[in-house]
Amino acid sequence: MRWLLLAVAMLGAAAAAEPDASRLERSYWLHASLAPLPQRGYWGPDFPVCVAPTTDQITLAATVLTGDLAANRLYLVCHAELPVAEAVRVLRDWRVACPTTVDLVPTFVLRMYDPPLTPVYRREELRQLAAFCRDELHSARLAVFDVLPGRDQGDGLAVLSEACPGGLVRVGLQPGESLGEPFVAAVQDTWSGFCHGRRNTEDWQQPGFGAATLRDWVTARNGGLPIVWDLITVAWDYRATERGAYPGYDDAERNDPLPPERNTLGALLIREAAAKGCLAGFSSDLCILQANSYARAHDGPGASFYERLRAGQPYRGTYSAPLAEIATIYRALAAGRWPSPPR
């Protein structure tokens, strides 16, 4: 009888350690502007202002993202590609368009990626946007987006922190990058951990390839703040190396889709490796999907991912298979279960 009680206790402990799948984050990050080529405020200050989406286009996009793509949170990235007044209108339209069960997190780039690291917003502009998010959108969280580790975010970080005293989310956290105040959670980049290896069993899961790297990244975050892990649509160019090692470049004209079943394998690995309370959910970068689908070697400007979103149409382009796999994972989680391992 003692062994039976011990077995029941072990099962109970395992269940307690297991995160409730239906409560995990299922998110995407994308430009609030849905601009096909949003360069202003990201690569530098001298690019033209983007054309804002209409209210109807935002409604159609929100229907796809929260319906077929099963999101319960959207990180809406802003980097002054729109004037402040238009950005306010666009963020308001997103809130109206999305179900109240879907969390919206306005996400700001604070430093450009030009050599001077130009601040994206003037202090008063950012204060105006942050106050709008707090007072009208009632945003429980704001986020800072950066894909380079440890950059000085400048005065803008204090502005956002003051507007959101509960803490900020760091989107684009890099492996090994420290995470502390004012951040209370993060979405971590996983690109090379997912991409390294052309085939799943023969390459990715072999010693020295991506699965081992991904596991190391997850265990390194155990005991720290809650982490949302990035699932991948766009991989690197697999034609350049025999077994799918990093080719030494990231080229939107040559990048391949992530291999089939890789996201499912990666999500299950993360589930297994994450300690109790450290796995907050999963996210996926739709900004990089847009940038690569926009390339003429792939879908091209007229058929890019954002063009499909703005029209409320399903995306059937170059990177549609890994995106559909992520949506399948999300639907399983929403139903309270984990995806089945690939056969």
Structural domain span for residue 211: 21-334
Q: Which residue, 143, 154, 151, is CA-closest to 185?
A: 143
Q: Is residue 310 part of a domain?
A: yes
Average pLDDT over residues 153-166: 94
Q: What are the tens digits of pLDDT across the range 278-312?
A: 999 999 999 999 999 999 999 999 999 999 999 99
Q: Is residue 86 part of a domain?
A: yes
Q: Is residue 105 part of a domain?
A: yes
Q: Is residue 272 part of a domain?
A: yes
DSSP helix/strand/coil, 78: strand
Other beta carbons within 10 Å of 95 = 19
Q: What is the pLDDT of residue 104?
A: 97
Q: What is the pLDDT of residue 26?
A: 98
The alpha carbon torsion through 262, 264, 268, 271 (nearest 10 deg) reads 110
- Check pLDDT > 80 for residue 5: no
Q: What is the pLDDT of residue 140?
A: 92
Q: Which residue, 132, 52, 34, is CA-closest to 92?
A: 132
Q: Report yes or no: 314 and 256 within 8 Å, Cβ to Cβ.
A: no
For residue 144, the domain's CATH number is 3.20.20
- Check pLDDT > 90 for residue 319: yes
The alpha carbon torsion through 88, 94, 99, 100 (nearest 10 deg) reads -20
- Check pLDDT > 70 for residue 14: no
Which band of pLDDT confidence, cut at 50, 70 and 90, is reported for residue 15? very low
List b or e across 96-124, with b for residues whose CB sees 16 or more CB atoms inside 10 angstroms.
ebbeeebbbbbbbbbbbbeeeeebbbeee
Q: Report yes or no: 153 and 146 within 8 Å, Cβ to Cβ.
A: yes
Q: Is residue 223 part of a domain?
A: yes
Strand residues in the chain grouped as ranges (E) = 25-31, 73-78, 103-108, 142-145, 168-173, 183-188, 227-231, 279-284
- Check pLDDT > 70 for residue 234: yes
Q: What are the tens digits of pLDDT across the range 180-216?
A: 999 999 999 999 999 999 999 999 999 999 999 999 9
Write the single-letter amino acid at 321: A
Q: Is residue 1 part of a domain?
A: no
What φ, ψ does residue 171 adopt, rounded to 5°?
A: -100, 125
Assigned token pair, 25 = 């984050």
Which band of pLDDT confidence, cut at 50, 70 and 90, is reported for residue 18? low
Average pLDDT over residues 85-99: 98
Q: Which residue, 289, 309, 247, 340, is CA-closest to 29?
A: 289
- Check pLDDT > 90 for residue 250: yes
Which band of pLDDT confidence, cut at 50, 70 and 90, is reported for residue 166? confident
Q: Which residue, 255, 81, 273, 285, is CA-closest to 173?
A: 285
- Check pLDDT > 50 for residue 1: no
Averaged pLDDT score across all residues of the chain:
94
Q: What is the pLDDT of residue 19?
A: 74
Q: Is residue 11 part of a domain?
A: no
- Residue 234 and residue 139: Cα distance in Å, rounded? 30
Q: What are the tens digits of pLDDT across the range 33-81?
A: 999 999 999 999 999 999 999 999 999 999 999 999 999 999 999 999 9
Other beta carbons within 10 Å of 321 = 15
- Check pLDDT > 80 for residue 16: no
Which band of pLDDT confidence, cut at 50, 70 and 90, is reported for residue 176? very high
Q: What percent of the chain is modeled with pLDDT above 90? A: 93
Burial class (CB in 10 A: 0-12, 13-18, 19+), 44: middle
Average pLDDT over residues 81-100: 98
The total number of structural domains in the chain stands at: 1
Q: What is the pLDDT of residue 100?
A: 95
Q: Is residue 292 part of a domain?
A: yes
Average pLDDT over residues 158-173: 95
